Protein backbone atom coordinates (compact mmCIF):
# COMPACT_ATOMS: atom_id res chain seq x y z
CA UNK A 1 0.00 0.00 0.00
CA UNK A 2 1.11 3.52 -0.72
CA UNK A 3 2.05 5.94 2.08
CA UNK A 4 -1.18 7.85 1.69
CA UNK A 5 -3.14 4.62 1.76
CA UNK A 6 -1.64 3.85 5.16
CA UNK A 7 -2.88 7.27 6.25
CA UNK A 8 -6.50 6.28 5.76
CA UNK A 9 -7.16 6.05 2.00
CA UNK A 10 -10.35 4.34 0.92
CA UNK A 11 -10.63 0.68 1.70
CA UNK A 12 -14.30 0.40 0.83
CA UNK A 13 -15.52 0.87 -2.72
CA UNK A 14 -18.91 2.21 -1.47
CA UNK A 15 -19.50 5.31 -3.57
CA UNK A 16 -22.57 6.64 -5.36
CA UNK A 17 -21.17 4.95 -8.47
CA UNK A 18 -20.85 1.56 -6.81
CA UNK A 19 -24.47 1.83 -5.65
CA UNK A 20 -25.73 2.69 -9.14
CA UNK A 21 -23.47 0.41 -11.20
CA UNK A 22 -25.45 -1.64 -13.69
CA UNK A 23 -23.18 -4.67 -13.96
CA UNK A 24 -23.00 -6.51 -10.62
CA UNK A 25 -20.89 -9.46 -11.81
CA UNK A 26 -17.90 -10.42 -9.69
CA UNK A 27 -14.82 -12.25 -10.95
CA UNK A 28 -13.10 -15.08 -9.04
CA UNK A 29 -9.68 -14.77 -7.42
CA UNK A 30 -6.85 -16.49 -9.28
CA UNK A 31 -6.00 -19.95 -7.92
CA UNK A 32 -3.25 -22.31 -9.00
CA UNK A 33 -0.84 -21.99 -11.92
CA UNK A 34 -1.84 -19.97 -14.94
CA UNK A 35 -0.09 -19.25 -18.24
CA UNK A 36 -0.60 -16.29 -20.58
CA UNK A 37 1.20 -13.96 -23.05
CA UNK A 38 0.74 -10.75 -21.06
CA UNK A 39 -0.25 -10.26 -17.47
CA UNK A 40 -1.57 -6.84 -16.51
CA UNK A 41 -1.45 -5.81 -12.88
CA UNK A 42 -4.25 -3.38 -12.00
CA UNK A 43 -7.91 -3.43 -13.08
CA UNK A 44 -8.45 0.30 -13.57
CA UNK A 45 -8.79 2.25 -16.79
CA UNK A 46 -5.10 1.99 -17.67
CA UNK A 47 -4.93 -1.78 -17.21
CA UNK A 48 -8.26 -2.60 -18.83
CA UNK A 49 -7.71 -0.30 -21.82
CA UNK A 50 -4.32 -1.88 -22.46
CA UNK A 51 -5.87 -5.34 -22.11
CA UNK A 52 -8.61 -4.50 -24.61
CA UNK A 53 -6.20 -2.98 -27.12
CA UNK A 54 -3.84 -5.99 -26.92
CA UNK A 55 -6.72 -8.45 -27.18
CA UNK A 56 -7.99 -6.76 -30.35
CA UNK A 57 -4.81 -8.13 -31.95
CA UNK A 58 -5.13 -11.65 -30.64
CA UNK A 59 -2.76 -11.42 -27.66
CA UNK A 60 -3.64 -13.68 -24.71
CA UNK A 61 -4.06 -11.34 -21.75
CA UNK A 62 -4.76 -11.86 -18.06
CA UNK A 63 -5.65 -8.96 -15.75
CA UNK A 64 -5.25 -9.29 -12.00
CA UNK A 65 -6.82 -6.72 -9.69
CA UNK A 66 -6.03 -6.55 -5.97
CA UNK A 67 -9.58 -5.54 -5.00
CA UNK A 68 -12.49 -5.20 -7.43
CA UNK A 69 -12.50 -3.72 -10.94
CA UNK A 70 -12.57 0.08 -10.76
CA UNK A 71 -11.77 0.03 -7.04
CA UNK A 72 -9.13 2.73 -7.58
CA UNK A 73 -9.47 6.19 -9.09
CA UNK A 74 -11.08 4.75 -12.22
CA UNK A 75 -14.34 3.81 -10.54
CA UNK A 76 -14.56 6.88 -8.28
CA UNK A 77 -13.78 9.87 -10.46
CA UNK A 78 -15.69 12.91 -11.73
CA UNK A 79 -16.44 11.22 -15.03
CA UNK A 80 -15.46 14.32 -17.02
CA UNK A 81 -13.78 13.48 -20.32
CA UNK A 82 -11.92 16.36 -21.93
CA UNK A 83 -8.73 16.91 -23.93
CA UNK A 84 -5.30 17.67 -22.39
CA UNK A 85 -3.38 16.29 -19.38
CA UNK A 86 -2.96 16.91 -15.66
CA UNK A 87 0.13 18.93 -16.62
CA UNK A 88 -0.45 22.37 -18.16
CA UNK A 89 0.40 23.12 -21.80
CA UNK A 90 3.32 25.45 -21.10
CA UNK A 91 5.08 22.93 -18.81
CA UNK A 92 4.63 20.23 -21.46
CA UNK A 93 6.13 22.54 -24.09
CA UNK A 94 9.06 23.36 -21.80
CA UNK A 95 10.04 19.68 -21.56
CA UNK A 96 8.86 18.21 -24.87
CA UNK A 97 9.38 21.19 -27.21
CA UNK A 98 6.74 22.75 -29.42
CA UNK A 99 6.40 19.83 -31.85
CA UNK A 100 6.37 17.27 -29.03
CA UNK A 101 3.72 19.25 -27.15
CA UNK A 102 1.59 19.45 -30.27
CA UNK A 103 1.80 15.68 -30.79
CA UNK A 104 0.90 15.06 -27.15
CA UNK A 105 -2.08 17.39 -27.36
CA UNK A 106 -3.30 15.63 -30.51
CA UNK A 107 -3.03 12.30 -28.65
CA UNK A 108 -5.08 13.67 -25.76
CA UNK A 109 -7.80 14.72 -28.22
CA UNK A 110 -7.64 11.27 -29.83
CA UNK A 111 -8.20 9.87 -26.33
CA UNK A 112 -11.50 11.77 -26.04
CA UNK A 113 -12.65 10.37 -29.39
CA UNK A 114 -11.38 6.88 -28.65
CA UNK A 115 -13.26 6.69 -25.36
CA UNK A 116 -16.50 7.79 -27.02
CA UNK A 117 -15.96 5.22 -29.82
CA UNK A 118 -15.29 2.40 -27.34
CA UNK A 119 -18.57 3.11 -25.55
CA UNK A 120 -20.42 3.04 -28.88
CA UNK A 121 -18.55 0.02 -30.32
CA UNK A 122 -19.25 -2.20 -27.31
CA UNK A 123 -22.62 -0.58 -26.49
CA UNK A 124 -21.50 0.02 -22.91
CA UNK A 125 -24.64 0.40 -20.84
CA UNK A 126 -25.01 3.18 -18.29
CA UNK A 127 -21.97 5.08 -19.63
CA UNK A 128 -23.73 6.97 -22.40
CA UNK A 129 -21.90 10.31 -22.83
CA UNK A 130 -23.65 13.52 -21.78
CA UNK A 131 -22.09 16.26 -23.92
CA UNK A 132 -20.44 19.45 -22.75
CA UNK A 133 -18.18 21.04 -20.19
CA UNK A 134 -18.27 24.65 -19.00
CA UNK A 135 -14.77 25.90 -18.02
CA UNK A 136 -15.67 28.89 -15.88
CA UNK A 137 -13.54 31.64 -14.38
CA UNK A 138 -14.00 32.69 -10.81
CA UNK A 139 -11.79 35.69 -11.40
CA UNK A 140 -11.82 38.21 -14.22
CA UNK A 141 -9.47 38.04 -17.21
CA UNK A 142 -11.85 39.44 -19.84
CA UNK A 143 -10.03 39.91 -23.12
CA UNK A 144 -7.67 36.93 -22.76
CA UNK A 145 -10.38 34.34 -22.50
CA UNK A 146 -12.53 35.68 -25.33
CA UNK A 147 -9.44 35.67 -27.59
CA UNK A 148 -8.56 32.12 -26.47
CA UNK A 149 -12.07 30.88 -27.27
CA UNK A 150 -12.05 32.59 -30.66
CA UNK A 151 -8.65 31.11 -31.51
CA UNK A 152 -9.86 27.61 -30.58
CA UNK A 153 -13.05 28.06 -32.62
CA UNK A 154 -11.04 29.08 -35.70
CA UNK A 155 -9.12 25.79 -35.36
CA UNK A 156 -12.49 24.07 -35.77
CA UNK A 157 -13.06 23.17 -32.12
CA UNK A 158 -16.66 23.26 -30.90
CA UNK A 159 -16.15 25.96 -28.26
CA UNK A 160 -17.99 29.18 -27.45
CA UNK A 161 -17.02 32.10 -25.23
CA UNK A 162 -19.54 32.72 -22.43
CA UNK A 163 -19.90 36.13 -20.80
CA UNK A 164 -21.54 36.64 -17.43
CA UNK A 165 -24.97 36.92 -19.01
CA UNK A 166 -24.60 33.67 -20.96
CA UNK A 167 -23.51 31.95 -17.75
CA UNK A 168 -26.49 33.41 -15.88
CA UNK A 169 -28.78 31.79 -18.48
CA UNK A 170 -27.35 28.42 -17.52
CA UNK A 171 -26.45 28.69 -13.82
CA UNK A 172 -28.17 30.47 -10.91
CA UNK A 173 -25.02 31.92 -9.34
CA UNK A 174 -22.92 35.06 -9.47
CA UNK A 175 -19.65 33.31 -8.74
CA UNK A 176 -18.38 33.17 -12.32
CA UNK A 177 -17.21 36.07 -14.44
CA UNK A 178 -16.95 34.33 -17.77
CA UNK A 179 -15.88 31.07 -19.37
CA UNK A 180 -15.72 28.70 -22.32
CA UNK A 181 -18.29 26.11 -23.33
CA UNK A 182 -16.53 23.00 -24.67
CA UNK A 183 -18.90 20.73 -26.60
CA UNK A 184 -16.18 18.22 -27.51
CA UNK A 185 -15.93 17.22 -23.84
CA UNK A 186 -18.55 15.00 -22.19
CA UNK A 187 -19.25 13.19 -18.95
CA UNK A 188 -20.05 9.59 -18.07
CA UNK A 189 -20.70 7.22 -15.18
CA UNK A 190 -17.06 6.13 -14.78
CA UNK A 191 -17.66 2.81 -13.01
CA UNK A 192 -20.15 1.63 -15.62
CA UNK A 193 -17.51 2.50 -18.21
CA UNK A 194 -14.80 0.51 -16.38
CA UNK A 195 -17.10 -2.49 -16.09
CA UNK A 196 -18.09 -2.17 -19.75
CA UNK A 197 -14.42 -2.12 -20.73
CA UNK A 198 -13.89 -5.30 -18.72
CA UNK A 199 -16.81 -7.01 -20.53
CA UNK A 200 -15.47 -5.83 -23.88
CA UNK A 201 -12.02 -7.21 -23.07
CA UNK A 202 -13.51 -10.51 -21.90
CA UNK A 203 -15.49 -10.77 -25.14
CA UNK A 204 -12.10 -10.80 -26.89
CA UNK A 205 -10.72 -13.52 -24.63
CA UNK A 206 -9.11 -11.54 -21.76
CA UNK A 207 -9.21 -13.33 -18.40
CA UNK A 208 -9.82 -11.14 -15.36
CA UNK A 209 -9.35 -12.01 -11.70
CA UNK A 210 -10.45 -9.85 -8.75
CA UNK A 211 -9.20 -9.99 -5.16
CA UNK A 212 -5.86 -11.06 -6.63
CA UNK A 213 -2.98 -8.80 -5.59
CA UNK A 214 0.39 -9.37 -7.21
CA UNK A 215 2.61 -9.95 -4.20
CA UNK A 216 5.94 -10.88 -5.78
CA UNK A 217 7.66 -11.07 -9.15
CA UNK A 218 10.31 -13.43 -10.52
CA UNK A 219 12.07 -12.42 -13.72
CA UNK A 220 13.75 -14.95 -15.96
CA UNK A 221 13.16 -16.38 -19.44
CA UNK A 222 9.48 -15.99 -18.66
CA UNK A 223 8.08 -13.72 -15.97
CA UNK A 224 6.25 -14.96 -12.90
CA UNK A 225 3.79 -13.06 -10.77
CA UNK A 226 2.89 -14.57 -7.44
CA UNK A 227 -0.52 -13.96 -5.91
CA UNK A 228 -1.81 -15.18 -2.52
CA UNK A 229 -3.34 -18.36 -3.99
CA UNK A 230 -1.66 -18.80 -7.34
CA UNK A 231 0.93 -17.85 -9.89
CA UNK A 232 0.84 -16.42 -13.41
CA UNK A 233 3.61 -17.16 -15.90
CA UNK A 234 3.74 -14.70 -18.79
CA UNK A 235 6.01 -13.45 -21.52
CA UNK A 236 5.36 -9.83 -20.57
CA UNK A 237 4.15 -7.88 -17.56
CA UNK A 238 2.33 -4.54 -17.59
CA UNK A 239 2.15 -2.51 -14.38
CA UNK A 240 -1.02 -0.39 -14.23
CA UNK A 241 -1.35 0.28 -10.54
CA UNK A 242 -1.95 4.07 -10.55
CA UNK A 243 -1.99 5.88 -7.20
CA UNK A 244 -2.22 2.47 -5.46
CA UNK A 245 1.26 1.44 -6.62
CA UNK A 246 2.98 -0.44 -3.83
CA UNK A 247 6.44 -1.86 -3.28
CA UNK A 248 6.19 -4.62 -5.91
CA UNK A 249 8.59 -2.72 -8.20
CA UNK A 250 10.34 -0.16 -5.97
CA UNK A 251 11.57 1.95 -8.88
CA UNK A 252 7.98 2.52 -10.02
CA UNK A 253 6.79 3.27 -6.50
CA UNK A 254 9.52 5.88 -6.10
CA UNK A 255 8.30 7.64 -9.25
CA UNK A 256 4.70 8.11 -8.09
CA UNK A 257 3.08 10.35 -5.52
CA UNK A 258 -0.29 9.08 -4.29
CA UNK A 259 -2.52 12.13 -3.88
CA UNK A 260 -6.04 11.88 -2.43
CA UNK A 261 -8.98 13.79 -3.87
CA UNK A 262 -12.66 13.89 -3.01
CA UNK A 263 -16.23 13.71 -4.27
CA UNK A 264 -19.73 13.81 -2.87
CA UNK A 265 -23.23 13.08 -4.16
CA UNK A 266 -26.20 14.95 -2.73
CA UNK A 267 -29.62 13.50 -2.09
CA UNK A 268 -31.89 13.39 -5.16
CA UNK A 269 -33.49 16.81 -5.73
CA UNK A 270 -34.22 16.95 -9.47
CA UNK A 271 -36.64 19.90 -9.37
CA UNK A 272 -34.47 22.15 -7.22
CA UNK A 273 -31.34 21.29 -9.22
CA UNK A 274 -33.11 21.92 -12.53
CA UNK A 275 -33.92 25.47 -11.33
CA UNK A 276 -30.35 26.18 -10.24
CA UNK A 277 -28.22 24.32 -12.82
CA UNK A 278 -30.04 24.69 -16.10
CA UNK A 279 -27.60 22.75 -18.24
CA UNK A 280 -26.78 19.05 -18.61
CA UNK A 281 -23.12 20.01 -19.09
CA UNK A 282 -20.47 19.48 -16.42
CA UNK A 283 -18.87 22.53 -14.81
CA UNK A 284 -15.20 23.05 -13.93
CA UNK A 285 -13.82 26.26 -12.48
CA UNK A 286 -10.46 27.61 -13.49
CA UNK A 287 -8.88 27.96 -10.08
CA UNK A 288 -5.67 26.04 -9.78
CA UNK A 289 -7.33 24.24 -6.86
CA UNK A 290 -10.59 23.82 -8.76
CA UNK A 291 -14.04 22.42 -8.07
CA UNK A 292 -16.03 20.45 -10.66
CA UNK A 293 -19.62 19.24 -10.67
CA UNK A 294 -22.48 17.90 -12.71
CA UNK A 295 -26.05 16.74 -12.22
CA UNK A 296 -26.61 13.03 -12.67
CA UNK A 297 -29.82 11.10 -12.03
CA UNK A 298 -31.25 14.10 -10.15
CA UNK A 299 -28.29 14.42 -7.76
CA UNK A 300 -25.45 16.88 -7.72
CA UNK A 301 -22.03 15.18 -7.92
CA UNK A 302 -19.39 17.60 -6.65
CA UNK A 303 -15.64 17.08 -6.56
CA UNK A 304 -12.56 18.96 -5.48
CA UNK A 305 -9.79 19.34 -2.86
CA UNK A 306 -6.59 17.37 -2.68
CA UNK A 307 -4.58 16.15 0.28
CA UNK A 308 -1.59 13.90 0.67
CA UNK A 309 -3.27 12.03 3.53
CA UNK A 310 -6.87 10.97 2.95
CA UNK A 311 -9.32 12.84 5.19
CA UNK A 312 -12.22 11.08 6.96
CA UNK A 313 -15.48 10.90 4.99
CA UNK A 314 -17.43 13.21 7.35
CA UNK A 315 -14.84 15.98 7.01
CA UNK A 316 -14.87 15.56 3.22
CA UNK A 317 -18.65 15.82 3.10
CA UNK A 318 -18.61 19.03 5.20
CA UNK A 319 -15.88 20.61 3.11
CA UNK A 320 -17.43 19.82 -0.26
CA UNK A 321 -20.89 20.88 0.97
CA UNK A 322 -19.37 24.22 2.05
CA UNK A 323 -17.76 24.62 -1.39
CA UNK A 324 -21.13 23.93 -3.06
CA UNK A 325 -22.96 26.45 -0.85
CA UNK A 326 -20.33 29.11 -1.61
CA UNK A 327 -21.41 28.88 -5.26
CA UNK A 328 -25.09 28.03 -4.73
CA UNK A 329 -26.38 29.30 -1.35
CA UNK A 330 -29.86 28.13 -2.38
CA UNK A 331 -28.63 24.49 -2.11
CA UNK A 332 -27.64 24.83 1.56
CA UNK A 333 -30.43 22.48 2.66
CA UNK A 334 -29.33 19.65 0.34
CA UNK A 335 -28.19 16.60 2.24
CA UNK A 336 -24.97 14.82 1.30
CA UNK A 337 -25.81 11.16 0.76
CA UNK A 338 -22.39 9.87 -0.27
CA UNK A 339 -18.85 11.14 0.04
CA UNK A 340 -15.65 9.37 -0.88
CA UNK A 341 -12.02 9.80 -1.75
CA UNK A 342 -9.67 8.19 -4.22
CA UNK A 343 -5.95 8.18 -4.89
CA UNK A 344 -4.51 9.70 -8.02
CA UNK A 345 -1.00 8.72 -9.09
CA UNK A 346 1.12 11.77 -9.90
CA UNK A 347 4.59 11.89 -11.40
CA UNK A 348 6.71 14.83 -10.42
CA UNK A 349 6.29 16.22 -13.95
CA UNK A 350 2.50 15.61 -13.77
CA UNK A 351 2.47 13.69 -17.07
CA UNK A 352 1.62 10.02 -17.65
CA UNK A 353 4.50 7.58 -17.40
CA UNK A 354 4.47 5.12 -20.25
CA UNK A 355 7.33 2.85 -21.14
CA UNK A 356 9.52 -0.09 -20.30
CA UNK A 357 11.41 -0.75 -17.07
CA UNK A 358 13.06 -3.87 -18.51
CA UNK A 359 12.68 -5.74 -21.83
CA UNK A 360 9.43 -7.48 -20.83
CA UNK A 361 8.31 -5.20 -18.03
CA UNK A 362 6.11 -2.30 -19.13
CA UNK A 363 4.37 0.41 -17.13
CA UNK A 364 1.41 2.72 -17.72
CA UNK A 365 0.86 4.96 -14.72
CA UNK A 366 0.59 8.51 -13.31
CA UNK A 367 -2.46 9.94 -15.03
CA UNK A 368 -3.11 12.26 -12.10
CA UNK A 369 -6.47 14.02 -12.10
CA UNK A 370 -6.90 13.76 -15.87
CA UNK A 371 -7.11 10.04 -16.54
CA UNK A 372 -10.15 9.34 -18.66
CA UNK A 373 -9.06 10.54 -22.10
CA UNK A 374 -5.39 9.94 -21.31
CA UNK A 375 -5.74 6.26 -20.34
CA UNK A 376 -7.95 5.75 -23.42
CA UNK A 377 -5.09 6.83 -25.69
CA UNK A 378 -2.17 5.65 -23.55
CA UNK A 379 -3.53 2.08 -23.43
CA UNK A 380 -3.68 2.08 -27.22
CA UNK A 381 -0.25 3.64 -27.65
CA UNK A 382 1.30 1.16 -25.18
CA UNK A 383 -0.32 -1.80 -26.96
CA UNK A 384 0.98 -0.49 -30.29
CA UNK A 385 4.51 -0.32 -28.82
CA UNK A 386 4.29 -3.80 -27.28
CA UNK A 387 3.09 -5.25 -30.57
CA UNK A 388 5.68 -3.33 -32.60
CA UNK A 389 2.96 -1.51 -34.53
CA UNK A 390 4.01 2.10 -33.89
CA UNK A 391 6.48 4.23 -32.01
CA UNK A 392 3.94 6.79 -30.83
CA UNK A 393 5.02 5.91 -27.28
CA UNK A 394 8.11 8.07 -27.93
CA UNK A 395 5.92 11.15 -27.50
CA UNK A 396 5.88 10.33 -23.75
CA UNK A 397 9.65 9.72 -23.55
CA UNK A 398 10.49 13.20 -22.16
CA UNK A 399 8.38 12.29 -19.11
CA UNK A 400 10.17 9.39 -17.51
CA UNK A 401 10.27 7.78 -14.10
CA UNK A 402 11.75 10.77 -12.26
CA UNK A 403 12.04 10.23 -8.52
CA UNK A 404 8.91 11.79 -7.02
CA UNK A 405 10.62 12.83 -3.79
CA UNK A 406 9.11 10.34 -1.33
CA UNK A 407 7.80 11.87 1.89
CA UNK A 408 9.31 15.25 1.01
CA UNK A 409 7.58 15.11 -2.37
CA UNK A 410 4.25 14.61 -0.61
CA UNK A 411 4.90 17.51 1.76
CA UNK A 412 5.92 19.71 -1.18
CA UNK A 413 2.75 18.71 -3.08
CA UNK A 414 0.55 19.59 -0.09
CA UNK A 415 2.30 22.95 0.44
CA UNK A 416 2.03 23.76 -3.26
CA UNK A 417 -1.70 23.01 -3.19
CA UNK A 418 -2.27 25.20 -0.14
CA UNK A 419 -0.23 27.95 -1.81
CA UNK A 420 -2.35 27.70 -4.96
CA UNK A 421 -5.55 27.78 -2.89
CA UNK A 422 -4.37 30.98 -1.20
CA UNK A 423 -3.46 32.55 -4.56
CA UNK A 424 -6.86 31.57 -5.97
CA UNK A 425 -8.61 33.26 -3.04
CA UNK A 426 -6.53 36.38 -3.46
CA UNK A 427 -7.15 36.58 -7.22
CA UNK A 428 -10.85 36.02 -6.67
CA UNK A 429 -11.08 38.72 -4.02
CA UNK A 430 -9.16 41.14 -6.23
CA UNK A 431 -11.50 40.57 -9.18
CA UNK A 432 -14.53 41.28 -6.97
CA UNK A 433 -13.28 44.78 -6.11
Ligand X SMILES: Cc1cc2nc3c(=O)[nH]c(=O)nc-3n(C[C@H](O)[C@H](O)[C@H](O)COP(=O)(O)OP(=O)(O)OC[C@H]3O[C@@H](n4cnc5c(N)ncnc54)[C@H](O)[C@@H]3O)c2cc1C
Does position 71 interact with ligand X (CB under 6 A)? The reply is yes
Q: What's the closest the beta carbon of residue 239 comes to ligand X, in angstroms?
A: 8
Does position 46 interact with ligand X (CB under 6 A)? The reply is yes
Does position 248 interact with ligand X (CB under 6 A)? The reply is yes
Query: Of residues 54, 80, 107, 265, which one binds ligand X by CB under 6 A?
Result: 80
> What residues from 388 to 427 belong to the interface with ligand X (CB under 6 A)?
none
Q: What's the closest the beta carbon of residue 304 comes to ligand X, in angstroms?
A: 9
Query: Of residues 30, 40, 52, 66, which one binds ligand X by CB under 6 A?
Result: 66
Judged by CB under 6 A, the stretch of 74-82, 92-100, 121-129, 146-154 that binds ligand X is 74-82
Does position 379 interact with ligand X (CB under 6 A)? The reply is no
Q: What's the closest the beta carbon of residue 380 comes to ligand X, in angstroms?
A: 14
Does position 74 interact with ligand X (CB under 6 A)? The reply is yes
| Residue window 303-342: x/- pattern of binding to ligand X, with contact defined by CB under 6 A | x--------------------------------------x
Judged by CB under 6 A, the stretch of 26-34, 137-145, 364-372, 415-423 that binds ligand X is 364-372
Q: What's the closest the beta carbon of residue 88 comes to ligand X, in angstroms?
A: 15
Does position 266 interact with ligand X (CB under 6 A)? The reply is no
Size of the site for ligand X (CB under 6 A): 42
Query: Of residues 180, 214, 295, 386, which one binds ligand X by CB under 6 A?
Result: 214
Q: Do residues 257 and 401 lie in contact, with contact meaning Cβ atoms separated by under 8 Å?
A: no
Query: Of residues 238, 375, 377, 379, which one binds ligand X by CB under 6 A?
Result: 375
Question: How far is the C-alpha of 365 from the C-alpha of 344, rounded, in Å?
Answer: 10
Q: What backbone phi and psi angles, to 5 degrees, belong to 194?
A: -55, -45
Does position 162 interact with ligand X (CB under 6 A)? The reply is no
| Residue window 277-306: x/- pattern of binding to ligand X, with contact defined by CB under 6 A | --------------------------x---
Nearest partner of 17 among 76, 79, 59, 68, judged by Cα: 76
Phi-psi region of 241 (alpha: psi -120 to 50; beta: other; left: phi over 0): alpha
Does position 10 interact with ligand X (CB under 6 A)? The reply is no
Question: How far is the C-alpha of 191 from the C-alpha of 263, rounded, in Å?
Answer: 14
Question: How far is the C-alpha of 364 from the C-alpha of 348, rounded, in Å?
Answer: 15
Cα 91 to its chain centre, rounded Å, is 19
Question: How far is the C-alpha of 232 from the C-alpha of 112, rounded, in Å?
Answer: 33
Judged by CB under 6 A, the stretch of 76-84, 107-115, 165-173, 403-411 that binds ligand X is 76-84
Given the complex with ligand X, which of 132 and 213 has the nearer CB atom? Answer: 213
> What residues from 88 to 127 belong to the interface with ligand X (CB under 6 A)?
none
Does position 15 interact with ligand X (CB under 6 A)? The reply is no
Which residues bind to ligand X, rule: CB under 6 A?
Answer: 41-47, 64-67, 71-74, 76-80, 213-214, 240-244, 246, 248, 261, 263, 303, 342, 344, 365, 367-372, 375
Amino acid sequence: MSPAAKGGAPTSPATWYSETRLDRAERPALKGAHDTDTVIIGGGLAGLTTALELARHGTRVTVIEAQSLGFGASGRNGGIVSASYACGASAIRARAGAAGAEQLHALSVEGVTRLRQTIAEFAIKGAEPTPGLLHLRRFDQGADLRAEAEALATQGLPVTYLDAEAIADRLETRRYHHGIEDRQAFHIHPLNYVLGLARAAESLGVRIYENTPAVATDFGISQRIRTPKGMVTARRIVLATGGYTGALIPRLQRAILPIATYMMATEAAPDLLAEVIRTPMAVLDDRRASDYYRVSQGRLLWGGRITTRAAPDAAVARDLHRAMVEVYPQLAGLRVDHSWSGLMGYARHRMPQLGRLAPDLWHITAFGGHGLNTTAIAGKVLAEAMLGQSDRIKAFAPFGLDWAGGRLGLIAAQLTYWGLQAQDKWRERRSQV
